Amino acid sequence: MNILEVRDLKIYFYAEQGIVKAVDGISFDIKKGSTLGLAGESGSGKTVTALSILNLVDPPGKIINGQIKYNGASLLDLDAEKMRMLRGKEISIVFQEPLTALNPVLSIEEQMYEMLLAHRRLSKNGCHKIVIEYLKKVNIPSPQKILKDYPHQLSGGTRQRVMIAMSLLLNPKLIILDEPTTALDVTIQAAILDLLMQLKEEMDLSILFITHDLGIIAEIADDVVILEKGRVVEKAGTLEIFENPKNDYTKRLLNAARFLEVSPL
């Protein structure tokens, strides 16, 4: 059973200098309850792919071909209001840099309430309860304390935890993580990854994990899609990719990663 099916997706950017084929005919599936790793270097089309799932590709970019099916329903045919209701509630995204993804002039509490109120009619008290519950879920030790804080007053790890809590507030089924740990240092990265895996079990999530770090993919993904210049170069189970890469580009990526792993100090 697939929660998301992407077929022959093409996203072109119409710039003045010509057409940029950011995504050029990619297809992949995410099985319900599984984690798909989407890997590739910068500019290979990872983030645009993620945005296209929620129909958030802005001009000059345009989805010119393909199908995106969520639980069997085509997402690209939804009208704006239905799409808006789906965002956050069924599918949500966590970004790479939590400092820029949080609004600097709203307190944590205000931003999280906003998110809830965009979808549900709730009293302030109701909001408060849910927000506290989810902040506890992402292992923030004393959630009461940070509610009135502004994003710049929190540490990077806490900010990313807040972002994750926020994206889970409405119990989405699919969560897209766009390099969620790149801006964090290694120990916090490990803690966040553990947390994500634990939440995935707890909340029965399916995950699309976007990264350029093959080490993370090895750790958490069930299947892997390798992108290069907007095309899928290889698609397989995680073990298979690491043990027996077929494509040249994949081999080079893996070698680069291995080289870093064994390099002595």
Partner 1 sequence: MRLVFKQKKIIFGLGLIIIMIALAIFAKFICPQDPYQINLGEHEKLQPPSFEHFFGTDDLGRDVFTRIVYGARISISVGFIAVLISLLIGVLLGAVSGYYGGKADWLIMRLVEIMLCIPTIFLILMALAFLGPSIRNVMIIIGLTSWAGLARLVRAEFLTLRERDYVLAAKILGASDARIIFRHILPNALSPVWVNATLGVGGAILIEAALSFLGLGVQIPTPSWGNILTDGIYYVDSAWWLMIFPGLFILTTVLSFNLVGEGLRDVLDPRLRK
Residue ranges in contact with partner 1 by CB under 8 A: 54, 56, 84-89, 92-93, 95, 97, 100-106, 114-115, 118-119, 163, 166-167, 170
119-157 CB burial, b ≥16 within 10 A, e <16: eeeeeeeebbebbbebbebbbbeebeebbeebbeebeeb
CA dihedral 64, 66, 71, 74 (to 10 degrees): 50
Quote the CA–CA distance of 30 and 2 in Å, as a whole number. 6
Please name which of 29, 52, 37 lies closest in space to residue 196, comparing C-alpha atoms. Answer: 37
Nearer to partner 1, 32 or 119 (CB): 119
How many Å apart are CA 146 and CA 28, to the nearest integer? 39
Least distance between partner 1 and beta carbon 62 (Å)? 15
Rounded to the nearest whole angstrom, what is the least distance from the CB of residue 237 to partner 1 in the complex? 29
What count of Cα atoms within 13 Å lies in the side-chain half-sphere of residue 58? 0
How far apart are CB 151 and partner 1 at their closest, in Å?
9
Kind plus residue range of the DSSP H or E element containing 159 = helix 156-168
Helix (H, G, I), strand (E, B) or coil at 123: coil
Q: Which is nearer to partner 1, 1 or 105 (CB)?
A: 105
Is 214:224 a contact under the CB 8 Å cutoff? no
CB of 85 to partner 1, least distance (A): 7
What does each C-alpha distance from 147 to 150, 153, 159 come to in angstroms?
8, 11, 12
CB 225 within 8 A of CB 235: yes
Helix (H) or strand (E) holding 196, with range, is helix 186-203
Closest distance of CB 101 from partner 1, Å? 4
Joined tokens for residue 163? 């972002």
Q: Which is nearer to partner 1, 6 or 115 (CB)?
A: 115
Name which of 115 and 225 has its Cβ closer to partner 1: 115
Q: Closer CB to partner 1, residue 74 or residue 100? A: 100
Cβ distance to partner 1 smaller for residue 113 or 249: 113
What's the closest the beta carbon of residue 243 comes to partner 1, in angstroms? 36
Comparing CB distances to partner 1, the nearer of 62 and 231 is: 62
Min separation Cβ 87 and partner 1, Å = 4
Question: Which tokens go with 66?
Answer: 């393909």
